[in-house]
Amino acid sequence: MCLSSTDGFKPPLTHPLGPILALILGRAQGSDVCVPCILTLCDPPLIPPLTPHDGTLSCGDAGVSVYPPIAAEVFFMVPKPVLVVSKCLGFDNCRYNGQSLFDTFVESLKGHVNFIPVCPEMEIGLGVPRQPIRLATVDKQPHLFQPASDRVLTDAMATFSSTFLAALPPVDGFLLKHRSPSCGPFDVKIYEGVSKTSGSKRGAGFFAACAMAGYEGVPMEDEGRLKNFDIREQFLIRLYALTRFRMAREEGRMRDLVAYHSTHKLLLLAWNQTRFRACGKIVANHEHWPVAEVFDRYEDSLRKALVVRPRTPSMINTLMHAFGWISEGLSKEETAYFLETLEAYRDERVPLSLLLGLLKGYAVRFDEPYLLNQVLLAPFPSPLMMVSDSGKGR
């Protein structure tokens, strides 16, 4: 079935394949390319590649440039982040009750990241199973203890945390256990004293607080918050952006930093325009700093740029800037669909990935080299895109 007779059809905005359906319409209308051929162009393909068939053209015959060479490195040579993860998240039965916790997102990361699993509570000598521990504040200082045994664990955990973190190789992020008194980075119950009747507040677990202090600006989340689509998407974008920078830094050449900045311009523009300009000035290096110092200054500015999630108006301005590169080749209907989707994003009815998918498809369609080299259009591996959403934590 060919889409040449589907004028006026608009794919629903909330459908996961909305961007793909829109591209199918854009490519098929007015051409002899049939739906099966176009579906093979998707990344990943929705159906296996087909040979030419009766009455139609194959994708190659239609002259469609699917994988422009200029974008190959950006889109397909995806780095593997180094991620410190709580061992109880599917790696070992080390929770206080002797169990582990299966998490769909953590499982999906396997094969895409290099994990460094850790269980701080086991590392300080607590067995499995074990009595729960508590985090409290005593004389304005953190106090970790086990109520059932009156065992104080503060010094042991402090020693382990500092030793472990100092011995780590370069890491790109942390994915820790939700609300754990040792690992939880957010929403951990911190008691205001050691008595059973003490009140409490919320904060970071002991080990997580040490990691935050030692790895300022490095993405850190827990598996509970990552059930929220937006938080998960932002975490992955930051994680892979910092991983690519680490790889550029390991090469240690100025041209690698220039290439990094060139391919991350739209991403930085969306996140923080002030930091984007600052990063550009650092790369220009009018002060003639040594290369190592340029990398240091750039990394500091990059981490500060990414630490706060982008404001919606800033992201929309960036998306419109990107749209300007390909808008002249689109039909009125395609332009209207993109702008309608943009408004849905503004109203928080669709995720950012929907718009990025549209822009990436248009860039491929028109073989637009500037957009094809912008990692914002494919900021992390597509298999990690999960449509599930808890609806919490926005």
Question: Across residues 166-195, what is the average pLDDT?
Answer: 97
**Dihedral in degrees, nearest 10, Cα atoms 213, 215, 219, 224:** -50
Domain that holds residue 330: 230-394
Q: Are residues 126 and 252 in the same domain?
A: no
75 found inside a domain: no
- Say how many C-beta atoms besides its own lie within 10 A of residue 394's C-beta: 10
Same domain, 223 and 285: no
237 and 104 part of one domain: no
* Ranges 56-60, 216-220, 374-378: which has the least confidence: 56-60
pLDDT tens column, 168-180: 999 999 999 999 9
User: Does residue 8 sit in the same domain as residue 139?
Assistant: no
Mutual orientation of helices 229-251 and 254-263 as an angle, nearest 10°? 160
pLDDT, position 380: 94
Q: Are residues 204 and 260 in the same domain?
A: no
Q: Residue 122's pLDDT is what?
A: 97
**What is the mean pLDDT of the segment spanning 139-157?**
96
Residue 30 binned pLDDT confidence (cut-offs 50, 70, 90): very low
Res. 12 pLDDT band, cuts 50 70 90: low
Over residues 96-113, the mean pLDDT reads 95
Judge if 120 and 195 occupy the same domain.
yes
- Cα pseudo-dihedral 363, 368, 374, 379, rounded to 10: 20
Taking 70 as the threshold, does the pLDDT of residue 29 lie above it? Answer: no
What is the number of domains present in the chain? Answer: 3
The mean pLDDT value of the chain amounts to: 84
Per-residue pLDDT, averaged over 192-211, amounts to: 94
pLDDT score at 386: 80
Encoded tokens for 165:
């973190």
| 204 occurs within a structural domain | yes
Q: Is 190 exposed, middle or buried (0-12, 13-18, 19+ CB in 10 A)?
A: buried
129 and 245 together in one domain:
no
Residue 94 lies in a domain: yes
Domain contains 53: yes
pLDDT at 106: 97
Nearest to 334 by CA among 5, 28, 54, 96: 28
- pLDDT tens by residue, 123-143: 999 999 999 999 999 999 999
Match 């190789």 to its residue by tokens: 169
Domain presence at residue 190? yes
Identify the domain boundary among 227, 242, 274: 227
Q: Is residue 140 part of a domain?
A: yes
Report residue 65's pLDDT band, with 50, 70 and 90 as the boundaries. Answer: very low
Place of tokens 């508590």: 134
Instruction: Decide if pLDDT at 55 tops 70.
Output: no
Q: Report pLDDT for 196.
A: 82
Q: Are 272 and 211 within one domain?
A: no
- pLDDT, residue 41, reads 39
On whether residue 16 sits in a domain, the answer given is yes
What pLDDT score does 197 carry?
A: 85
> Is residue 234 domain-shared with residue 382, that is, in the same domain?
yes
Cβ count near 358 (within 10 Å) = 25
Mean pLDDT of 182-187: 98
Judge whether residue 37 has pLDDT over 50. Answer: no
Q: CB of 318 within 8 A of CB of 311?
A: no
Q: Which of 193, 227, 261 is the last residue of a domain?
A: 227
Clarify whether residues 100 and 205 are in a common domain.
yes
Q: Return phi, psi of residue 228, to 5°.
A: -80, 130
Question: Which pLDDT band, with edges at 50, 70 and 90, does 54 fall under?
Answer: very low
Has residue 67 got a pLDDT over 90? no
pLDDT at 245: 97
Q: 391: pLDDT confidence band, cut at 50, 70 and 90? A: low
Percent of the chain with pLDDT over 70: 78
Same domain for 335 and 204, yes or no, is no
The per-residue pLDDT for range 224-274, each reduced to its tens digit, is 999 999 999 999 999 999 999 999 999 999 999 999 999 999 999 999 999
The model carries a pTM of 0.80
Q: Of 192, 227, 262, which marks where a domain is finished?
A: 227
User: Does 350 or 222 have the greater pLDDT score?
Assistant: 222
Residue 77 lies in a domain: no
Mean pLDDT of 308-332: 96
342 plus 222 within the same structural domain: no
